[in-house]
Amino acid sequence: MSIHTTSPASPPTTDRWLKGTTGLRYGGDYNPEQWPRETWLEDIALMKQAGINLVSIAIFAWGILEPREGEYDFSQLDDIFGLLHEAGIDIDLATPTAAPPAWFWKKYPDSRPVTRDGITLGNGSRGMVSPSSPDYRRAAAAITEQLARRYANHPALVLWHVHNEYGAPISDSYDDHSVAAFRMWLQKRYATLDTLNEKWGTTFWGQVYGEWDEIDAPRQSASVTNQAQRLDFHRFTSDALLECYINERDVIRRFTPDIPVTTNFMATNCLSPDYWKWAREVDIVANDHYLVAERADNHVLLAMDADLSRSLAGGAPWILMEHSTGAVNWQPRNIAKRAGEMARNSLSHLARGADAILFFQFRASRFGVEKFHSAMLPHAGAETRVWREVVALGETLGSLEAVRGSRVQARVALLWDTESFWAQDFEWRPSAELGHRERLEAFYTALWNRNVSVDFAHPTADLTGYALVVAPSLYLVGPAASENLTGYVRDGGHLVVSYFSGIVDENDTVYAGAAPGALREVLGLTIPEFLPLHENETVTLSDSRTGTAWTDDIEVSTAEVLARYVDGPAAGGPALTRNVYGAGSAWYISTKLTGTDLDSLLLDVLNTAGIEAARSIDGVETIIRSTDTDEFLFLINHSDADQSWPASGTELLTNTAVDGTVLVPAGLTRVVHSTL
């Protein structure tokens, strides 16, 4: 087992896909173990009616498949394999290791996870076990081997779904196995205690370690815990979970080397796994996404999640493993999707590179904690709006077969670094208003509003293909990333950096000298002092823009000042700068800009970088997928009014010729196919 100790520079770009149909995949999680056999027959007939061609099964079935340790019962699973295959529905077979059975917990109580504040968690649920428990890893490999042996040659098997949403609902465990494994992980990373002491800055508060076994997991303590230690514990936890995945994947590969193996990510919504590293270990990226029901801009956040999924896949097609037809059951107010919303959501994922659209789950559960979660087939059955929309979506996907395998081209990259999220979210930062995610969402939204396609990239990735790179509050920038970003601009790239970026290295140590240590040279400025603002305080810029949350005392060296502060603690000093550096340029935005202030600035930047910011969105989201020969223009109308858009070719959903203008009715989507 070998995993890299730092994030890989660039994701893989393989275009591996599921055998079988040449079209798109459609379906969802299916839990027949909750139903009598006669219901399975009804389900399968309904799946056929909806055009479903892929279901994920056995995700939580460990207790049924292995009722006592080492005793297996595959009778139900054999039956369901047979019935699905007869109906021509392919199978994404899960390893059920996200929910160990009751016997496991009784026999191996030391596998139970311990929270940061010392609570040992019980069973009767799912999701958590100490990822470093040797008994868990052995038991997980054993059930995986049984499944792989039994179904390796089954013609319905097209995909493996290892575990479920690693890292959720919680990820880090402070149990004895984890502490022992953490110490080994540290020995591998630092080799000597002297190095560890230096990297963790343990002379602060006299935390110096003289023996490896003095080191503990960073549990809840009286005051704030060493943040370099916490950062390493995050890295360790991501690696420990990844080892669990690889443990199962490698068993599977012995039996089915040609069937792709994946696990479902939660791209923007779970920060425990460092997905850039994980993406290298899956054959196809798979992602789960649920709307934040109460946010009016949740379709923009969906787009961001889908763009990150595609980026993790290196641009290759990916699988939307789960989303919902309507309400979920775990938000404060589980607002149902209204007519057409599910289709718009699905087609936005598709437009952003997903070639499989799957849901949680096929049939709603009558019991268990998810009984109020929507499904493809609701409790009320097939005579429902939701089911009719599910059938209609199946038809829509059928008409979009030609899209399969085409790709999205983006000229703008937003930097996304999980390690920077971890570090920035610790306590005692200069202001509670600092938020990596807040700035990411702000910049992403501004670009989305302009219909600019965006990839996400790790700060050490090869950025040469991008005309513009945006670093929204990227607090942690290690030396490799610093060099990469500086080189990118020197070679002709354009970089936008927002405040509180490039402050610390990979051990959360402030760079020597004035901020922003990692980006001083490329930005052509230094920041002798941070000047955060009061709650609700605003500052005015000389270009009439308004800032909130943050300002800096800036001294420019080579940068040109684009706007100064008129008032506030940095009055008279630079607010917005641009540094021509080598063949490119780098902007610095030292305050929180929103709305039209951010939009107009980005428009200037896009123009300088030579990127066409076509037209403001007017409620119509546009994305292009293309191949060398074909182009597919997706137009998703989120507004209540019909809209016209320039296009020519064939509209695939209505199968009509388009000559110059296509009408996109309110709430609907149109996909115009043209040849290049």
Which chain residues interact with ligand GLA by CB under 6 A? 164-165, 288, 290, 322, 328, 360, 370, 373
Q: Which residues pair with 262 in a beta bridge?
A: 161
CB of residue 328 to ligand GLA, shortest distance in Å: 5
User: In the complex with ligand GLA, which residue's Cβ is closer, 212 or 330?
Assistant: 330
DSSP for 152-164?
TT-TTEEEEEESS
With contact defined as beta carbons under 8 Å apart, do 329 and 375 qualify? no
CB of residue 374 to ligand GLA, shortest distance in Å: 9
SS3 of residue 27 by DSSP:
strand
Neighbour-count burial of 258, counting CB atoms closer than 10 A to its CB (0-12 exposed, 13-18 middle, 19+ buried): exposed
Tell me how many degrees the CA angle 382-386-389 measures, rounded to the nearest 5: 100
CB of residue 264 to ligand GLA, shortest distance in Å: 6
User: In the complex with ligand GLA, which residue's Cβ is closer, 168 or 531?
Assistant: 168
Asked if 555 is an active-site residue, the reply is no
Q: Say which residue the tokens 């917005």 belong to.
A: 576
**Which of 118, 111, 76, 115 lies closest to 97, judged by CA?**
111
CB of residue 360 to ligand GLA, shortest distance in Å: 4
Asked if 537 is an active-site residue, the reply is no
Measured CA to CA, the distance from residue 364 to residue 374 in angstroms comes to 6
Torsion (CA) 177, 178, 184, 189 in degrees, nearest 10 = 170
With contact defined as beta carbons under 8 Å apart, do 140 and 98 qualify? no
b or e along 176-189 (b: 16 or more beta carbons within 10 Å of the residue's beta carbon)? ebbbebbbebbeeb
Q: Which of 165, 248, 506, 651 is catalytic?
A: 165
Q: Say which residue the tokens 């379709």 belong to.
A: 299
Measured CA to CA, the distance from residue 58 to residue 168 in angstroms comes to 18
With contact defined as beta carbons under 8 Å apart, do 565 and 596 qualify? no
Instruction: Provide the residue type at 331 as one letter.
Output: Q
User: In the complex with ligand GLA, which residue's Cβ is closer, 322 or 441?
Assistant: 322
CB of residue 148 to ligand GLA, shortest distance in Å: 22
Q: Does the annotation list 439 as a binding residue? A: no
Handedness of CA 518, 519, 522, 524 (dihedral sign): negative
User: In the complex with ligand GLA, which residue's Cβ is closer, 322 or 597?
Assistant: 322
Q: Which residues pair with 320 in a beta bridge?
A: 287, 357
Q: Which of 66, 248, 281, 322 is catalytic?
A: 322
Torsion (CA) 309, 312, 314, 317 in degrees, nearest 10 = -30
User: In the complex with ligand GLA, which residue's Cβ is closer, 179 or 306?
Assistant: 306
CB of residue 323 to ligand GLA, shortest distance in Å: 9
126 vs 60, 101, 163, CA distance in Å?
8, 9, 11
Helix axes 227-255, 134-151, angle to 10 degrees: 30
DSSP 8-state assignment for residue 10: S
Measured CA to CA, the distance from residue 507 to residue 501 in angstroms comes to 15
CB of residue 322 to ligand GLA, shortest distance in Å: 5
Q: Say which residue the tokens 């709307």 belong to.
A: 291
Q: Does the annotation list 587 as a binding residue? A: no
Measured CA to CA, the distance from residue 127 to residue 163 in angstroms comes to 9
Q: Does the annotation list 126 as a binding residue? A: yes
SS3 of residue 70 by DSSP:
coil
Contacts of 395 (CB under 8 A, 6+ apart): 51
Q: How many residues does the chain have?
A: 676
Contacts of 360 (CB under 8 A, 6+ apart): 28, 29, 288, 322, 323, 324, 373, 375
Measured CA to CA, the distance from residue 647 to residue 623 in angstroms comes to 13
User: In the complex with ligand GLA, which residue's Cβ is closer, 50 or 168?
Assistant: 168
Tell me how many degrees the CA angle 603-607-611 measures, rounded to the nearest 5: 100
User: In the complex with ligand GLA, which residue's Cβ is closer, 62 or 488?
Assistant: 62
Measured CA to CA, the distance from residue 543 to residue 442 in angstroms comes to 20
CB of residue 57 to ligand GLA, shortest distance in Å: 13
CB of residue 48 to ligand GLA, shortest distance in Å: 24
User: In the complex with ligand GLA, which residue's Cβ is closer, 290 or 466?
Assistant: 290
CB of residue 123 to ligand GLA, shortest distance in Å: 17
In terms of DSSP bridges, do strands 630-637 and 620-626 run parallel, antiparallel, or are they unpaired? Answer: antiparallel
Sequence-ordered alpha helix ranges (H) in 588-648: 595-608
User: In the complex with ligand GLA, which residue's Cβ is closer, 185 or 290?
Assistant: 290
With contact defined as beta carbons under 8 Å apart, do 7 and 277 qualify? yes
User: In the complex with ligand GLA, which residue's Cβ is closer, 13 or 329?
Assistant: 329
Binding site membership for substrate: which residues?
Answer: 126, 164, 330
Please identify every residue annotated as catalytic.
165, 322
